[in-house]
Structure 1
Amino acid sequence: MNVKKIGKWTRHRIASYAMAVVVLVLMLSPVLTMAQDPTGAGTGTVKDLGIDTLAATSDTALNKVVSAVNVIAAADGHSKISINIMWTLICGFLVMFMQAGFALVETGFTQKKNVAHTMGMNFLVYALGMFGFWVCGFALMFGGALNAVTLGGAPGVIPHEYVIHMFGKDFGIAGTVGFFLNSKVYDVGVFTLFLFQMVFMDTTATIPTGSMAERWSFKSFLIFGLFISMFVYPLYGNWVWGGGWLSQLGVNFGLGHGHVDFAGSSVVHLVGGVAALAGAIIIGPRIGKYGKNGEVNTIPGHNIPMALLGTFILALGWFGFNPGSTLAGGDLRIAVVAVNTMMAGTAATLSALIFMYIKGQKPDPGMLCNGLLAGLVAITAPCAFVDSMGSVIIGAVAGILVIVVYNFVDRKLKIDDPVGAFAVHGANGAWGCIALGLFADGSYGDGWNGVPGTVKGLFYGDGKQLVAELIGVAVCFVFVFVVMYAFFKLSNKITPIRVKAEDEIAGLDMPEMGVHGYVD
Structure 2
Amino acid sequence: MTGLKSSADVLFLMLGAAMVFAMHAGFAFLEVGTVRKKNQVNAFVKILTDWAVSTVVYFLIGFPISYGISFLKPASDLMGPNQGYDLVHYFFLLCFAACIPAIISGGIAERAKFWPQVIAGAIFAGLCYPLFESLIWGQNASMLQGFFKSLGGAEFHDYAGSVVVHSIGGWIALPAVLILAPRMGRYVRGKSHPIPVSNIPFLALGSWILAVGWFGFNVMSAGNLEKISGLVAVNSLLAMVGGILAALVAGRNDPGFVHNGALAGLIAVCAGSDIMHPLASLVVGMIASLIFVYGFHLEQEVLKIDDVLGVWPLHGVIGSWGGITAGIFGQKALGGMGGVSFVSQLAGSLSAILFALASGFIVYGILNKTVGIRLSEDEEFAGADLSIHSIGAYPEEHVR
Cross-structure match for 1:62:
none
CA RMSD of the aligned region, Å?
1.7
1:186 is the counterpart of 2:78: yes
Cross-structure match for 1:504:
380
The answer as to whether partners of 1:379 and 1:395 remain within 8 angstroms in 2 is yes
**Structure 1 249/79 Cα, relative in aligned 2: closer, same or farther at 3 Å?**
farther
How far off is 1:254 after superposition? 6.0
Cross-structure match for 2:53:
128
Determine helix, strand or coil for the equivalent of 2:224.
coil
Matching residue within 333, 343, 355 for 1:467? 343
- Bigger Cα Rg: 1
Cross-structure match for 2:224:
328
Matching residue within 143, 166, 175 for 1:278? 175
Determine helix, strand or coil for the equivalent of 1:88.
helix
How far off is 1:250 after superposition? 5.3
Distance 1:113 1:419 in 2: 16
Matching residue within 240, 248, 252 for 2:146? 248
Cross-structure match for 1:9:
none
Cross-structure match for 1:315:
211
Matching residue within 432, 449, 456 for 2:339? 456
How far off is 1:441 after superposition? 4.2
Cross-structure match for 2:369:
493
**Letter in structure 2 aligned against 1:508:** A
**Structure 1 477/254 Cα, relative in aligned 2: closer, same or farther at 3 Å?**
closer
Matching residue within 364, 373, 378 for 2:254? 364
Moved more, 489-498 or 422-431: 489-498
Determine helix, strand or coil for the equivalent of 1:386.
coil
How far off is 1:79 after superposition? 2.3
Distance 2:356 2:322 in 1: 18
Cross-structure match for 1:345:
240
**Structure 1 211/456 Cα, relative in aligned 2: closer, same or farther at 3 Å?**
same
Cross-structure match for 1:235:
131
Distance 1:205 1:249 in 2: 29
1:373 is the counterpart of 2:263: yes
**Letter in structure 1 aligned against 2:231:** V
Identity, % of aligned positions: 31
1:265 is the counterpart of 2:133: no
**Letter in structure 1 aligned against 2:120:** F
Matching residue within 195, 198, 202 for 2:98? 202
The answer as to whether partners of 1:370 and 1:420 remain within 8 angstroms in 2 is no
Determine helix, strand or coil for the equivalent of 2:116.
helix
Distance 2:95 2:238 in 1: 24
How far off is 1:124 after superposition? 0.7
**Letter in structure 1 aligned against 2:222:** T
Distance 2:265 2:379 in 1: 36
**Letter in structure 2 aligned against 1:430:** S
How far off is 1:301 after superposition? 1.2
Determine helix, strand or coil for the equivalent of 2:225.
coil
Cross-structure match for 1:79:
4
The answer as to whether partners of 2:186 and 2:306 remain within 8 angstroms in 1 is yes
Cross-structure match for 1:142:
67
Distance 1:256 1:320 in 2: 31
Greater per-residue helix proportion: 2
Cross-structure match for 2:184:
287
Distance 2:274 2:109 in 1: 34
TM-superposition CA deviations, 1:118-169 (whole Å, max 9, x none): 11111111101111101201111111xxxxxxxxxxxxxxxxxxxxxxxxxx
Structure with larger RCO (C-alpha < 8 A, sep 6+): 2
Moved more, 102-111 or 470-479: 470-479
1:109 is the counterpart of 2:34: yes
Matching residue within 196, 215, 219 for 1:300? 196
**Structure 1 372/248 Cα, relative in aligned 2: closer, same or farther at 3 Å?**
same
**Letter in structure 1 aligned against 2:174:** L
